Amino acid sequence: MSSRRRRCKRQLIKFTQHIARLISGTLKSDNEDEELESTTERYQPENLEQLQSQTHFSRQELQLLYRGFKNECPSGVVNEDTFKNIYALFFPMGDSAKYAYFLFNAFDKDQNGSLSFEELVCDLSVLLRGTTQEKLNWAFNLYDIDKDGHITKEEMFDILKSIYDLMGKSIHPRLKEEKMDINQDGVVTIDEFIDSCQKDENIMQSLKIFDNAV
Amino acid sequence: MAGGVAAWLPFARAAAIGWMPVASAPMPLPPRDKRRSQDGLIILNVSGSRFQTWRNTLERYPDTLLGSTERDFFFHEETNEYFFDRDPDIFRHILNFYRTGKLHYPRHECISAYDEELAFFGIIPEIIGDCCYEEYKDRRRENAERIQDDAENENNNDMVVPSLSFRETMWRAFENPHTSTMALVFYYVTGFFIAVSVMANVVETVPCGTASNRVKELSCGERYALAFFCLDTACVMIFTVEYLLRLIAAPSRYKFVKSVMSVIDVVAIMPYYIGLVMTDNEDVSGAFVTLRVFRVFRIFKFSRHSAGLRILGYTLKSCASELGFLLFSLTMAIIIFATVMFYAEKGSSSSKFTSIPAAFWYTIVTMTTLGYGDMVPKTIMGKIFGSICSLSGVLVIALPVPVIVSNFSRIYHQSQRAEKRRAQKASKEAGQSLVCKANPIFDTDHHHLLHCLEKTTNHEFVDEQTYETSCMEVSGMKQSMSCSSSSSSSPHGLTCCSRRNKRKSFNVPNSNMTGIRRGSIQELSTIHIRERPQSNSRSSLNAKFEETVPLNSEEQPYITAAVISMPTPPVTTPEGGDSSCSTDFLRSNIVRVSAL
């Protein structure tokens, strides 16, 4: 009863405000202007030497990467929506939202909702110039959606589904988790993951193909 | 994909590592490492302004001049930069396109200059960003309209075709009264008679005092019936003669008969003839009286004489949708308010609002704020709704009116501009003839070329004198021709240079550039170079017909096929055969010579 009264009151107040605005003749656009001042987040990366020491990239490569990055994101950070849009451009035929979301979480180490250049470039150096151990580590991190150290069947299925979604068709992905789950306890830990991957020659080979991406 | 997104490709590829552990098939080999060229700075020197950018930035768009190897043609070894002799202000925008992926159109730049720069650098204008695209398209359309206007006006005014048939002369006389004195006389005479006829129609209804043996007051028409009848007959005879002459002279009779002016003419004179035919049959004379109303349509014949009336008519035609909307909204409002008023006034006694259609009259009178006062609401509710009706009437009518006004203003200004341009043309030509200076290097090379041609064909270019005299006589008949202007500029030619210069002055106006047609020799270099590609196309050959017809008709017997293979024989009918005068000129010259 009281909620109804409250709602009634709110409506009444809005109505009187509306009438007041009508009489005084304020333009609607005046109110909307205030919302336009968005909080512009600006972020500057660490200096070049530090990044050079943290990653395996050369100075020129870092310069190139940052110039492209800054062109695209002048504010210095990538938020999830931009990430999703970019991925949608790369994979236009399918639905890349889910995969972009997982990827974003994998990149975003401190889970603050935005990617800075350092996070991106550090991960990039791992993926492109790191050891296979590091790469598999990263892949495990990607698959482990809730970051609890275990990959459950559901997480695996979700990841696979999102990857297959990039194709655009709804395919029932083939689960390889059973193969990886050595002690058959329903989850895959990082050691099991790395072990089973290292045994597979195909996987080892394919981890190297993007080494010249920059 | 835009160049900017390519910056994300390394990230996307790296992230693909995440697919590897769960891949169901082995991966394809990566593409071979392409030219991983060092990303260096490129210096672009545009007329002195140095622009610098990364090589990669330019190579984002490989199908443009700057992004492809085409730019190597502009490389200047001594300064190790790329030099372009173009406008640096506009180049700024073009370079920004490479940088940001968005092409903007600066409002203060001339649209044709901008288009030229875009064409030079190989950028299609369709990629102009949304922010500037509308403006760009508007300006382009405006420019095209203006050029088209110019072309049409030139066609209309300057078409000197001396040996038209009598029929064509007559038609031209009717359409453009300024072409000959006869046409002008005819124009004024018809105008006078239109006025007389309309005045007679008006005056004959004025009451003229009673006759001796009548009670009722007579109108002037009934009193001086014979006089008015004679006047009417005279006017109608003039109009009939005019209509028949137009009908004979019209190039397409069917089109003429369908046109609006012809219908007005017919409607203006029919009542008289019907009146002649009909006897004093009582039954039909009532209908006959209403037919006389159509005599007032004679006033529309004035629209041939007044450009302003034509503009008004054209405006109304072009605002048809706004007018339609106005009508529709008015009708809606009228019906609503009439219904409301009817039911509001139903209660009051002796109310004039007897039915809803009767209330229409009240609503219309009130909404247009006329307020005759013959129908007035008496109840309170009726008065309230009546006041709301009059308030809303102002709004409903005032809204579409500015649209119509702006349309009228635009069309009116366009016609004013055309008039102004025509008036300015004389001073513009004077200015251009002052500016024209022969380009000496170009001249000598051009002379040499013509000399080579002479040697090749073993004939000589002669007879500029005879050409000029024939031109003069042609231009004497109809002024405003390129020949006369060229002969006016030929004194410059004579002073500047040898006889060959005059030949060039003939060439210049005969180019297909409508804007630069008149004798600017300085523009020759641009015109001439442009002419070449144009004269290759058949369409340009057929585009404009110049005054060489008389020459060609003279020289018909002299044409030898051996001298030049003519693409199209220029000696077609005067109406049909159009050719650019330059090629004609050369042909005609050589043709002459072969007869010698």
Phi, psi of A59 (to 5 degrees): -60, -45
Least Cα separation, residue A99 to chain B (angstroms): 10
Interchain contact, A68 vs B15, CB within 8 Å: no
Question: What 8-state DSSP symbol labels residue B293?
Answer: G
Least Cα separation, residue A142 to chain B (angstroms): 7
Question: What 8-state DSSP symbol labels residue B300?
Answer: G
A201 touches chain B (CB under 8 A): no
Interchain contact, A139 vs B17, CB within 8 Å: yes
The 10s digit of each residue's pLDDT in A166-209 is 776 666 666 665 566 666 677 778 888 888 888 888 778 877 77
Contacts of A123 in chain B (CB under 8 A): 14
Rounding to the nearest 10 degrees, give the CA dihedral for residues B493, B496, B497, B501: -30
Contacts of B17 in chain A (CB under 8 A): 127, 135, 138-139, 207, 210
Please name the member of A120, A173, A197 whose beta carbon is closest to the beta carbon of B21.
Answer: A197
Closest residue on chain A to B1 (Cα): A89
Interchain contact, B14 vs A90, CB within 8 Å: no
Whole-number Å distance between alpha carbons of A127 and A118: 14
Q: What is the pTM of this model?
A: 0.53
In sequence order, what are the beta bridge partners of B49? B46
Whole-number Å distance between alpha carbons of B506 and B486: 6
pLDDT at site A112: 84
H/E stretch holding B82 reads strand B81-84
Would you list which residues of chain B are within 8 Å, Cβ to Cβ, of chain A? 1, 4-24, 26-27, 29-30, 33, 39, 54
Measuring CA to CA, how many Å separate A133 from each of A7, A127, A204? 60, 10, 10
- For the segment A10-22, the average pLDDT, to the nearest whole number, is 89
pLDDT at site A85: 86
pLDDT at site A147: 83
How do beta strands B41-46 and B81-84 pair? parallel
Interchain contact, B20 vs A206, CB within 8 Å: yes
Tokens 């504010």 correspond to A75
8 Å CB contact between A109 and A96: no
Residue B419 neighbours by CB distance under 10 Å: 12
Closest residue on chain A to B24 (Cα): A174
Q: Could you give the 3-state DSSP secondary structure of residue B445?
A: helix
Least Cα separation, residue A49 to chain B (angstroms): 20
A113 touches chain B (CB under 8 A): no
Q: Could you give the 3-state DSSP secondary structure of residue A180?
A: helix
pLDDT at site B398: 83
8 Å CB contact between B4 and A89: no
Q: Which of A132-146, B4-18, B24-38, B77-91 has the highest mean pLDDT?
A: B77-91
Closest residue on chain B to A137 (Cα): B18
Least Cα separation, residue B324 to chain A (angstroms): 31
Interchain contact, B5 vs A90, CB within 8 Å: yes
- For the segment A23-52, the average pLDDT, to the nearest whole number, is 66
Among B11, B29, B54, the residue to mutate for chain A (most A Cβ within 10 A) = B11
Please name the member of B4, B6, B14 whose beta carbon is closest to the beta carbon of A124.
Answer: B14
The 10s digit of each residue's pLDDT in A108-154 is 888 888 888 888 888 888 888 888 888 888 888 888 888 888 888 88
pLDDT at site B214: 63
Q: Is the pLDDT of residue B588 over 50?
A: no
Measuring CA to CA, how many Å separate B176 from each of A175, B173, B466, B521, B576? 87, 5, 32, 32, 21
Judged by average pLDDT, the poorest of A28-42, A90-104, A146-160, B7-21 is: A28-42
Interchain contact, B6 vs A68, CB within 8 Å: yes
Of residues B518 and A2, more confidence is placed in A2
- For the segment B249-276, the average pLDDT, to the nearest whole number, is 87
pLDDT category, B314, cuts 50, 70, 90?
confident
pLDDT category, B283, cuts 50, 70, 90?
low
Q: Is the pLDDT of residue B144 over 70?
A: yes
Interchain contact, A207 vs B17, CB within 8 Å: yes
Among A206, A207, A208, A211, the residue to mutate for chain B (most B Cβ within 10 A) = A206
The 10s digit of each residue's pLDDT in B349-364 is 888 889 999 999 999 9
Taking each helix axis from N to C end, the angle separating B166-175 and B225-249, rounded to the nearest 10 degrees, works out to 120
8 Å CB contact between B591 and B555: yes
pLDDT at site B91: 93
In single-letter form, the type of residue at position B368 comes to: T
Please name the member of A174, A193, A212 whose beta carbon is closest to the beta carbon of B30.
Answer: A212
A22 touches chain B (CB under 8 A): no
Contacts of B26 in chain A (CB under 8 A): 202, 205-206
Q: Which of B47-56, B307-316, B396-405, B471-480 has the highest mean pLDDT?
A: B47-56
Q: Is the pLDDT of residue B503 over 70?
A: no
Residue B512 neighbours by CB distance under 10 Å: 20
What are the structure tokens assigned to B238, written together? Answer: 């003039």
- For the segment B535-546, the average pLDDT, to the nearest whole number, is 40
